[in-house]
Structure 1
Amino acid sequence: MLARQRSTTAVVLGATAVVALSGCSSAVEVAPTPLATGAACRAVAASWPARAGGQERREVSDASAGAAYGDPAIIARCGVPALAPTTQDCIEVDGLGWVAQPLSDGTRFTTFGRDPAIEVLVPKAYAPEPLLLPAFTEAANRLPTNSLSCT
């Protein structure tokens, strides 16, 4: 699907979450995003869901970096740069746009039309992966919108 274009171009950084289990800890390593400590992401952090796709929330290495659920970990991070217009698949779930990017071990979903954006990394073990997105609706609705939407 094509996404509507906007007048300015955003730079999309290839930053991804670092997912690993610490040696003696059960905390999931989650790398902070460039905008994780901003006001918008602090509001999102307060509204991460307790469960995603039936999986309970897990401890993460840095609470400001995001949230994790289940094993293998579903990772949610706020503060990734907003996506520019794209030709990648864009789906609407609960009125929110999400761009899906297939990965070798699952799918990366990034909110579309929100600035900053939320990124949700869903392992293949949770297929069909888009069914997990409604859990993040409340958190994503706390982000400011921009002029982009799925078409």
Structure 2
Amino acid sequence: MSPRRSLLALATASVALAAALSGCAPVVSLAPAAEFANDPECAEAIVRMPDAISSYPLRQTDAQGAAAWGEPTVVLLYCGVPVPEVSELPCVPVEGIFWLREEVDAGLAYTTYGRDPAVRVVIDPDAIGPGVVLDELSTAVSYTSETGRECVDLEDTVTGR
């Protein structure tokens, strides 16, 4: 192989390796939470989101106050959603944060209860356990203010559907 051809092959391999290592995943297109995605506490929480949840890497999004993990995406997070009032939804505590659980078309959704601004997380439970997700998000979500409201009837697990 000629030196020029060897250099070209090396350059091509270097570009391919750099692309693979940089995670050339496309930007996740999301709509921000309609209420308060621009709340300063959302910004405080978003900058503290984990770089990965389990083996799913954090992805870039095009929405303020939002985060996503995995390719394909298995976890979506929206900060600034409406703060829930008293609810009949099951409530689960994880690391001092109360979450209301509901089934949605995309899987399971968990919305913080007793926090303002509120955070909503949509999880594909076939790909990752909700308990893992909520545990790994707890530190970042703790940067939203507590309102003093707590769930009265608590579920003892976040693994069920």
Q: TM-score, normalised by structure 1?
A: 0.77
1:130 maps to 131
> Secondary structure of 2:77's match?
strand
Q: Which moved more, 1:134-143 or 1:124-133?
A: 124-133
Question: Identity rate of aligned residues, in percent?
Answer: 25
Equivalent positions of 1:1-150 (< 5 A) are 26-33=26-33, 34-62=35-63, 64-73=64-73, 74-150=75-151
Cα distance in 1, alignment partners of residues 105 and 119 from structure 2? 20
Structure 1, unpaired ranges of 5+: 1-24
Classify 1:60/1:89 alpha carbon distance in 2 versus 1 (closer, same or farther; 3 Å): same
- Would the aligned equivalents of 1:30 and 1:65 in 2 still touch at CA under 8 Å? no
Of structures 1 and 2, the one scoring higher in RCO (CA 8 A, sep 6+) is: 1
Q: Distance in 2 between matches of 1:143 and 1:40?
A: 5
2:114 maps to amino acid: G
Compute the displacement of 1:125 (Å): 2.6
- State how far apart, in whole Å, the 2-side matches of 1:117 and 1:72 are: 25
Is the 8 Å Cα contact of residues 106 and 124 (structure 2) preserved in structure 1?
yes
Greater helix content = 2
Q: Is the 8 A contact 2:29 2:62 kept in 1?
A: yes
Q: Any stretches of 5+ residues in structure 2 without a counterpart?
A: 1-24, 153-161
By how many angstroms is 1:66 displaced? 0.8
Greater than 3 Å deviation, 4+ residue runs: none
Aligned residue pairs total 126
Deviation, 1:127, is: 4.4
What CA RMSD, in Å, does the superposition of the two structures yield over aligned residues? 1.5
Instruction: Check the 8 A contact 2:41/2:144 in 1, yes or no.
Output: yes
SS at match of 1:137: helix
Task: Verify the 8 A CA contact 2:39 2:117 in the aligned structure 1.
Answer: no
Q: CA deviation at 1:70?
A: 0.4
What is the Cα deviation at residue 26 of structure 1?
1.1
